[in-house]
Structure 1
Amino acid sequence: MSEHKHGEMDISVQEQSFEGFMKWSTRVAVFSILVLVFLAIFRT
């Protein structure tokens, strides 16, 4: 069994996935806040 050496693994795919997830999450959060503000302002 080989020994683990910290920092050797290629994590570029994981970094790209996490970056995409964070962009998507941020956009959903901003959209949700805008919808709530819109509903609060134009509530009938």
Structure 2
Amino acid sequence: MGEPHKHGEMDITVHEKTFDAFVKWSTRVAIVAICALIFMALVNG
């Protein structure tokens, strides 16, 4: 069935790049949402 899994030998560079991109995207979306809420609060005044 294949070789047994050895901990720490898997190449995870693609996984790390994907996770970094997800964190950056999520952070930017959160910042935009917060700015939109602040803008709406100031305009509604």
Task: State whether TM-score is above 0.5.
Answer: yes
Q: What's the Cα RMSD here?
A: 1.1
Percentage identity across paired residues of the two chains: 52
* Matched residue, 1:20: 21
The CA distance in 1 between the partners of 2:11 and 2:3, in whole Å, is 17
The CA distance in 2 between the partners of 1:3 and 1:17, in whole Å, is 26
- Where does structure 1 differ by over 2 angstroms across 4 or more consecutive aligned residues? none
Unaligned runs of 5+ in 1: none
Aligned pairs for 1:2-41 (under 5 A) are 2-41=3-42
The size of the alignment, in residue pairs, is 44
Unaligned runs of 5+ in 2: none
TM-score (structure 2 length as normaliser):
0.89
Q: Which amino acid in the other structure matches residue 32 of structure 2?
A: F
